[in-house]
Amino acid sequence: MLNSSLQQLSALIAAKKISSVELTNEFLSRVKAQNPVYNAFITVNEEMSLAQAHAADAMIASGQGQPLTGIPIAQKDIFCTKGWLTTCGSKMLSNFISPYDAGVIERFNTVGAVNIGKTNMDEFAMGSSNETSFYGPVRNPWDITTVPGGSSGGSACAVAARMAPAATGTDTGGSIRQPAALCGISGIKPTYGLVSRYGMIAFASSLDQGGPMAKSAEDLALMMNVMVGFDTRDSTSLQRASEDYSRDLARPLQGLRIGLPREYFVEGLSSDVASAVESAIAEYRKLGAETVEVSLHNTKLSIPVYYVLAPAEASSNLSRFDGVRYGHRAPEYTDLNDMYQKSRAQGFGAEVKRRILIGTYVLSHGYYDAYYIQAQKLRRLIAQDFSEAFKHCDIIMGPTTPTTSFPLGEKSGDPVQMYLSDTYTIATNLAGLPGMSIPAGFGSNNRPVGLHIIGNYFAEAQMLNAAHQYQQVTDWHIRIPDTLNGL
Amino acid sequence: MQWETVIGLEVHTQLSTQSKIFSGAPTTFGAAPNAQACAVDIALPGALPVLNHGAVERAIRFGLSVGAKINSPSIFARKNYFYPDLPKGYQISQYELPVVAGGSVKIQVGGAGNEYEKTIRLTRAHLEEDAGKSLHEDFQGMTGIDLNRAGTPLLEIVSEPDMRSSDEAVAFAKTLHSLVRWIDICDGNMQEGSFRCDANVSVRLLGSDRLGTRCEIKNLNSFRFLEKAINYEARRQIEILEDGGTIRQETRLYDSDKNETRTMRSKEDAQDYRYFPDPDLLPLAISEDWVNHIRTMLPQLPEARRSNYITEYGLSSYDAGVLTSSKEMASYFESTVELLPIQAKLCANWIMSEVNGRLHKESLDIAQCPVTPAQLSLLLLRISDGTISGKTAKDVFDAMWRVECNGDADLIIESKGLKQISDMSEIEKLIDDILAANPQQVSDYHNGKEKAFNSLVGQVMKATKGKANPSQVNDLLKKKLAG
């Protein structure tokens, strides 16, 4: 059961072979038993989860079941969830019970999915290893001495360790794809604007995008069908005709043109990742795809551009956490400024502070033109690289990350090394393009490698098709860590 | 040394939308604290702004009525600073591309007689959200925060430094005040803070073309305070300069109790607001169709109405200005003059003096005037057809104000017996009696004493209890005396 796909669980529930309450209880006990090892969840609330499961069973009984009705889904703790502690991985919000539901949470509630718990994450989604969480690091199920990636590390771990059949994540510079790759699961960041940001606590508004994390492309498609949709409460939400993301899964890949960016296969890429990705590409050729070399000239600029723009937006987005209306307020202070300073000094962790400082700096008078404006110009160039590349190919592939998962603590003292782990993923956020990671074998020490798939705007169905066809002929995505054998 | 004061104004007008500029919460004034603050206004984690197009529509209406350029795209920017009543830690405003760019407003300065017209150029007008309110009383050493006002839509109108006296600044502020109500984008209620001014004041030697260092006086919420604050500030700056000092650029507050301005913060303490485009709001595209549609819905503007009054009714520029100070005033005048077109000047005078004076005395709005334009025009008709004198008319007007006889002038004249005596023979007889009884005055008159004549007129008027037509009495008396 714990190893079943969403598709299978959905069929079992629809056929009334198992109730949502039974399924929810099963996952809750699994979480209870395993979470102390992995620390994937910040909040588990059996009572609320089971209330939803009962409601889901009633929906099914009255014939109103939908594909995800009654199925437990882990929710990243960045999504405001009514009545649930919603911390965003920060001490700042360690006392914040959300009075409202995010757009994404509403959509899951509407179809009767069950919230199985709120997953751990890097503080305010700032991090690539889940080590910046106020609630402590998450462990990678493939090797608990290594990181799960971040910032959606709790969600990735929950799925990989079979504590939830699927989870939500958010991706500002790779926060869905990088942990998916490091934990050996599948994850997709949709085109910017497809998934509502309403109630999704903002890190960098122009880059943030919610998306699903699951065991397979097929499951991701089911999740996308729920998560994607116009929301009038988010001005950047796109109003488009609704799509069935499962519609093209079965399509053969004959003639698919895969672009391989020259810049993604050079120095910095570790050899074990390179060879796994190359084997995956070879598999695609066997499936009838063609490969063409493309160039994304400005790839090298992605990280510097990102680390100007994302902190700039973050420095402003995080200003609302001032201790005045909710969240952490210093217990003692002498005046207003002292209250601000102490509350924020105590409430935010080091990485968040670093980014607020960088962001404040680049927006300051005298530096704005040199940093922020310049970065915006380069952002357009980076996006142009992709539109140029897509003239020659249908889809782009490469490694999701330069290395497999790394030991806890290895990079946490060196922010630049940490930032480099998002080398390949950041450009898609800057361009607003959809990006995806699927398991593509293992590197040294049996750590998972992710294959990165970048599509053109709104090409999610095509990307899911490419991923699904690969998953029909490979079994990387159904492999589980040895410690999980026997599930 | 002769000094010249240079003034530019920033006027914050609260737009008359039902809901806030970036949320659906209502904007009604006076609700219980925080009863009108939703997730967006409180800036809960994850809450996002959604632009109220009603606010944009009003900004465009303003832009079109001052002949400005409507920018498309227009960009919303974040102005970052910390304050407890600023929930997001930034205000959503506009910086580089405001909705309204340029434009100008014509003002009439000075009273009847010494008035002149001047054109004040506008720099821009941009949309922004208001902050909440900090309440320092009632909380014993703590501060209360009321976020009802947070997110209320404002249009900040910024002028060029084109004004040279507090009179001009007040005239400009009044013209804007009347315009924003005329085009129905703001209720103009200054007590509730719907219309408030910041004044940038500097002085320079007359003839100089360089601007002096300016001080900004914040939050002036009455025309009188605006005038006094500017006068005080200009004097203060001149005194400093004449003593050989220099002006520090700073923001100042006006204390109306002491009638002085004092430092709020100096330029050195000025914050770096770190403006940048708000990534939560896409660039605002304003289509030409939308602008054209709004243009067709605009009422005729006061300026056009004013020149109509001058050419059509022969009113003075000053009178035309007073009568177009609000749409209600203009429509009162027009409804009155429509029934009495050949007496436009009489209508204008009465509305400006009697009607306005009375309204002012009783703090009423013209919309609340107990005398309707139709009733007033009947009264004025009775003046012009000689039924009553202008003096008697004032008594009739008083009665109309009290809604005696349903405000019907004819019934009042009738019931009080105020009709003028126009029967010549009756007046002739009276005059004969009075001349016979006053031989001294008659002889004084013949000896060239003008006063004696006036005294005789007075006696005739007294004898008729004011009901004789004074000019008739004059003519008759002269005829009789002559011979």
pLDDT at residue A323 greater than cutoff 80: yes
Q: Tens place of pLDDT for every residue, chain B, 483 residues?
A: 799 999 999 999 999 999 999 999 999 888 899 999 999 999 999 999 999 999 999 999 999 999 999 999 999 999 999 999 999 999 999 999 999 999 999 999 987 678 899 999 999 999 999 999 998 887 888 889 999 999 999 999 999 999 999 999 999 999 999 999 999 999 999 998 999 999 999 999 999 999 999 999 999 999 999 999 999 999 999 999 999 999 999 999 999 999 999 998 887 777 899 999 999 999 999 999 999 999 999 999 999 999 999 999 999 988 998 999 889 999 999 999 999 988 999 999 999 999 999 999 999 989 899 999 999 999 999 998 888 888 889 999 999 999 999 999 999 998 888 887 767 777 888 888 888 888 888 888 888 888 888 888 888 888 877 777 777 788 888 888 886
Q: What does the DSSP assignment read for A232-281?
A: TT-TT--------TTTTTT---TT-EEEEEGGGGSTTS-HHHHHHHHHHH
Letter for the amino acid at A82?
K
pLDDT at A331: 97
Nearest CA in chain B to A335: B142
Residues of B in contact with A357 (CB under 8 A): none
Write down the catalytic residue from A5, A20, A90, A151: A151
ipTM associated with this complex: 0.96
Query: Would residue A454 count as lying in a domain?
Result: no
- The verdict on a CB contact (< 8 Å) between B276 and A360 is no
Integer Cα distance of B376 and B409 in angstroms: 8
- Specify whether A246 is catalytic: no
The shortest CB-CB distance from B39 to any of A100, A234, A364 is to A100
Q: What CATH number is given to the structural domain containing A222?
A: 3.90.1300.10
Give me the number of domains chain A comprises.
1
Q: How high is the pLDDT of residue A141?
A: 98
Residue A112 forms part of a structural domain: yes
CB distance A316–B80 less than 8 Å?
A: yes
**Distance in angstroms between the alpha carbons of the first and the last residue of chain A:** 8
Q: Is the peptide bond before A151 cis (omega within 30 degrees of 0)?
A: yes
CA angle A87, A433, A69 (to 5 degrees): 55
Told to judge if A151 belongs to the known catalytic residues of this protein, a careful annotator would answer yes
**Cβ-Cβ contacts under 8 Å, A202 against chain B:** 46, 48, 280
For residue B183, the distance in angstroms to the closest alpha carbon of chain A comes to 29
d(CA B229, CA B64): 31
**Where do the structural domains in chain B lie, given as residue ranges?**
3-291, 300-416, 424-482
- A389 falls within a domain: no
**How close, in Å, is residue A418 to chain B by CA atoms?**
26
Rounded-to-integer distance, Cα A55 and Cα A65, Å? 11
What pLDDT, on a 0 to 100 scale, did the predictor assign at position B205? 95
Closest approach of B8 to chain A, Cα-based (Å): 24
**What is the extent of the structural domain holding A197?**
6-256+473-484
Which residues is B110 bridged to in the sheet?
none
Q: Do A336 and B272 touch (CB under 8 A)?
A: no
Question: Which is nearest to A207 in space by CA: A421, A426, A51, A473?
Answer: A426
- Paired tokens of B266: 């100096």
Any domain includes A323? no
Pairing of strands A257-261, A186-189: unpaired
Which residue from A79, A315, A320 is facing B43, i.e. has the nearest CB? A320
What integer best gives the mean pLDDT of chain A? Answer: 97
Q: Taking CB atoms and an 8 Å limit, are B276 and A372 in contact across chains?
A: yes
- Active site (annotated) includes residue A364: no
Is A98 within 8 Å of B44 when comparing Cβ atoms? Answer: yes
Is this structure's pTM higher than 0.80? Answer: yes
CATH number of B424-482: 1.10.10.410
Contact predicate A214/A220, CB 8 Å: yes
- On the question of pLDDT at A486 being above 90, the answer is no
What letters, b where the CB count within 10 A reaches 16 and e where it falls short, cover A233-260? Answer: bbbbbbeeeebebbebbeeebeebebbb
